[in-house]
Amino acid sequence: MEHATRVGNRLLAALPPADFALLAPHLRKVPLEHDAVLVRSGDRIEHLYFPCSGAVALIMELPNGQTAATAVIGNEGAVGFMSALGPVRMPMTAVVRVSGTALQISPARFHAALERSPALASAVQLLTKALLAQFQHVAACNALHSVEARLARWLLHIHDRSDGGDVLPLTQETLSELLGVRRTTVTHVVSALRASRAIKSSRRGQLEIDRRRLEAVACECYKVMSRRIDRIVSRDAVRLLHTAPARDNSLPPDFPFAKTDS
């Protein structure tokens, strides 16, 4: 396994070498195939995935069959990290929306390293913080902004995590799933974005975007969310992970969802 500073996942790359070495023998590079379901809502988490490239959407599924995206994760984060907190079932479905690669590890191996590494504990805190930031912004954006602005935001988030240039592998069904709207609404919104030339073309299963025009259409949430997540996983990551104090095998009292004796 490569030295931590050369790993494709930004969060793993921020770990001190000694802490990364606890994970390295157990990390396996796997492909992220387009449209692959990494874990379904309600299932036990069998693997953690640290994307090196590509994009994974977290999809909330309601009892009536409606869906909506709550977050998009790329090489700044991880999928399934909540399993580090104990045996839990996935609250959302994780679906690959842009193909790529990831580093995979079992929850047991990750938890064993977590108990020995204060830096890794801090990394889980950062992951929780970054994911909550997305959840909060997406909830507010869904309530306050137009479908057109929201679609532009999702396309920009996905484009940020794509290596395929300005052509995104997204069907109308996928866009409907992301937005939580009917396909007829998606057709209307895509047509509006084409009229403004923010979308250059929309062939079956592909969208070609004009990023500059798309940024003009997107609500302010895109830039706010991007800056906030970059700050969490870049500046904060390097500072916190390299200054994490030594501790025993128990989780610190301020660790997210830490168990207590009470």
Categorise residue 37: left if φ over 0, alpha if ψ from -120 to 50, beta otherwise: beta
**How far apart are alpha carbons 43 and 74 in whole angstroms?**
22
Collect all residues with Cβ–Cβ distance below 8 Å to 249 and sequence separation of at least 6.
Answer: 115, 116
* Cα separation, 57 vs 179, whole angstroms: 12
What b-and-e string marks burial along 67-84, b requiring 16 or more CB atoms within 10 Å of the CB? bbbbbbbbbbbbbbbbbb
Spacing of C-alpha 252 from chain mean position: 25
Residue 48's pLDDT is what? 95
This prediction has a pTM of: 0.84
Amino acid 256: pLDDT = 34
What is the pLDDT, as a whole number, of residue 191? 94
Burial class (CB in 10 A: 0-12, 13-18, 19+), 224: middle
Chain centroid to Cα 243, Å, comes to: 25
What are the residue ranges in the chain where pLDDT is below 70? 1-5, 84-86, 164, 233-262
Measured CA to CA, the distance from residue 39 to residue 80 in angstroms comes to 8
Structural domains present in the chain = 1-108 (2.60.120.10), 141-238 (1.10.10.10)
Cα–Cα distance between 1 and 34 in angstroms, integer? Answer: 25
